[in-house]
Structure 1
Amino acid sequence: MGPKWGFFLRAETMHGYYSYLEALPDSPDRDFHEMSHGESFLALLDRKIDSPGFFCLDEPEAALSFGSTLRYLGQLDALAKAGAQVVCATHSPVLASLPGATILELGEWGIRESAWHDLELVHHWRSFLDAPGRYLRHIVD
């Protein structure tokens, strides 16, 4: 039998969700607004996304540093191994590298299944990190 609960998360709705949690009687989650965006996101993952279910995540890396994204990748891996289903829209080559993930790439061609090393975003990040000046010369004086 599949997971019985789900969670939709996007950065634009987190503030409202935190306010909802704070308004609940005897809520242990009254501190989210006191944290930075990234800290509160990781705390939410630790406290609420902790058992198999269906998770729909819209660019969850937006609030996270590189190290926090790696930590989050570990959490996604543990959830998947426990039976969770995750759909994640991302621009992060780190999150896209999750072993065993099915990667669907969207672009001018439509939608296609891709291997991580073939992703356009991986190519662009590698090119940028190899020689930032190739990109920066077009956007800064």
Structure 2
Amino acid sequence: MIIERAYAHTVARDEEAEWPWSVPCVRGLLADGLRFTAPVTFLVGENGSGKSTLVEALAEGFGLDSWGGSHDWRYASPRPKSVLGARIRFDAAPRGRRMLASWSARKGFFLRAETAMDALDREGFAPDSVSHGEGFLAAFREKFSPAGLYVMDEPEAALSFASCLELLGHIDQLVRNGSQVICATHSPLLTALPGADIVEVGDHGLRRVAWRDLTLVDHYRRYLADPQSYLRHVLG
């Protein structure tokens, strides 16, 4: 493990009703922090639940560019951290403490679905003559190798079913090499990774859930069994 717990400094009472402090998962971070109990942690939840806000702040707290990229790269010109990212702190394992204490020792990458290929291109990796999804996986093979903290926001966005399974293989290899992965996702495929910790984000804040009990897994299971039960509510 690299980081064992993330938390944020308390805020003034007059700030509590403002974004992002009003988001339930952020309030949970303020109250109890978020413990990491496995090398891979998946954050799942509906759009607007705050999971992307949370992973971006975790990446910023570790020194990764919020636009996406590695620890030693900054987009265009240095930008201030987000309000939440500036207040994120970590309880770290010995390796993590060494990384946080020394910029040269820090290793990691923040992968955002909407900026992934741009970030990789800026860092010198731009596979030609391949699809977006193929380039995405090629980047994993080439760039995601040093042991470090890898934060991902919906990496499944560009990937097919088979490519998602390949991505799981890459994540597993990262962990075997000593890395830690924190990933926000909507994918029931990715969250099925054996041994991963799953945190469901929502109005309740943050709570750990078994894969089989995830709301998203239940919806996919029901939809595949009977698509019309869902489509009749959305099609005219």
Question: Given the two structures, how large is their TM-score scaled by the length of structure 1?
Answer: 0.86
SS in 1 for 2:151: strand
Shift of 1:30: 4.0
Match in the other structure for 1:38: 133
Q: Residue type of the partner of 2:114? A: E
Which of 51, 56, 63 matches 2:151? Answer: 56
Match in the other structure for 1:14: 116
Which of 88, 103, 122 matches 2:217? Answer: 122
* Highest RCO, 1 vs 2 (Cα 8 Å, sep ≥ 6): 2
Question: Given the two structures, how large is their TM-score scaled by the length of structure 2?
Answer: 0.53
Shift of 1:129: 0.6
Residues 58, 30 of structure 1: alpha-carbon distance in 2 compared, 3 angstrom cutoff: closer
Distance in 2 separating the partners of 1:51 and 1:110: 33
Distance in 1 separating the partners of 2:126 and 2:168: 26
Shift of 1:19: 3.8
Q: CA offsets per residue over residues 62-91 of structure 1, 9 Å max, x none?
A: 000000000111111121122110000000
Matches within 5 A, 1:43-122: 43-122=138-217
Gaps spanning 5+ residues in structure 1: where? 23-28
Gaps spanning 5+ residues in structure 2: where? 1-93, 97-105
Which of 91, 95, 111 matches 1:2? Answer: 95
Q: Which runs of 4+ in 1 moved over 3 A?
A: none
* Higher helix proportion: 1
Question: Sequence identity of aligned pairs in percent?
Answer: 49
Residues 102, 18 of structure 1: alpha-carbon distance in 2 compared, 3 angstrom cutoff: closer
Distance in 2 separating the partners of 1:12 and 1:96: 20
The CA RMSD over aligned residues, in Å, is 1.7
Shift of 1:12: 1.8
